Amino acid sequence: MAYRVLISDKIEDVCPQVLKDGGVECDQKPGLSPEELLAAIGDYDGQIVRSATKVTAAVLERGRAGKLKIVGRAGAGVDNIDMQAAEKLGVKVVNTPGLNSNAVAELALGFAFMLARNLAPADAGLKAGRWEKKGLSGFELSGKTMGLVGFGHIGRLVTAKAKGLGMRCLAHDPLVPSDVIWAAGAEPAELDAIWRGSDFVSLHLPKNKETLNIVDARVLSLFKPTAYLINCARGGLVDEAALFEALSAGKLAGAAVDVFAVEPPGDSPLLKLPNFIAAPHLGASTLEAQLGVARKSAELLVQFFRQLG
């Protein structure tokens, strides 16, 4: 039996090649409107998405009424897939955690370097014809404390890299035993201890009901005024209005984010602050990560269909 897969987001060529090598037919149709996706999904046994396509309950219902059996996410997060609807309808969801972890960890440390050495304003000033050497003195990461909130693949990689720079690492994750945190080179700590005691706080959490706006005005009030916040995890973990207030009032030295609650963020007031730097959700945007998640997502679907026979 020939199975068909819809690839509805842009993805590396290795993905359709692995599917075809595995005897699975595929169509690449990135950029489908919600209406076009609804009209097409029932003709496919599987679907592969990145982050752009929203696999809603309606999409899953229409797909299940047709042939849809599995959705593969080429990446770790499944925020764009209605997991409750998938479970209810019996549509399997697979993802590729860990394959973009190093890319995200490197970006988090890159943000730390940028914040510590004032690289963003230094670059902007020089390009504007200003030589501001005296006003942009920074500090070294060695000897500073990195607080990790979330200690999965990415948090542990950040710890290894930060320890290599001579940083002390604190970590909090209710799902990770203390001995595992110690073994990875970090010190287990309660959340308030991390908020209060870190020079950098780096978030590495999924977004759910428990973590939504976990960094709010109360939490930001606990930070040292010399501390920095880094978010390369998910938009919505940080109350952006509260962050704007804290940065504007000097209650926080600076922040760097790769993700926003709404993307693109439009005319977010945060973008106008000199002590705020951002990227357009580039965490997994490396050649190595993109190839890895593209290949793995295809392999997972090929394996699934082979088991079906």
Q: Which of 3, 232, 193, 297 is nearest to 101 (CA)?
A: 232
234 catalytic residue (yes or no): yes
Amino acid, single-letter form, for residue 163: K
Backbone angles phi, psi at 138, to 5 degrees: -115, -150
C-beta separation of 273 from 244 below 8 A: yes
281 catalytic residue (yes or no): yes
C-beta separation of 50 from 80 below 8 A: no
172 catalytic residue (yes or no): no
C-beta separation of 228 from 255 below 8 A: yes
What is the rounded distance in angstroms from the CA atom of residue 177 to the CA atom of residue 171? 11
Of 25, 140, 263, 288, which one is the catalytic site residue? 263
What is the rounded distance in angstroms from the CA atom of residue 249 to the CA atom of residue 247? 5
**In sequence order, which ranges of the chain are alpha helices (DSSP H)?**
14-21, 34-40, 57-65, 83-89, 101-117, 119-127, 153-164, 178-183, 191-197, 217-222, 240-248, 287-308
C-beta separation of 62 from 37 below 8 A: no
Of 61, 234, 240, 299, which one is the catalytic site residue? 234
Give the alpha-carbon dihedral of 35, 36, 38, 39, to 10 degrees: 120
Which positions are annotated as active-site residues? 234, 263, 281
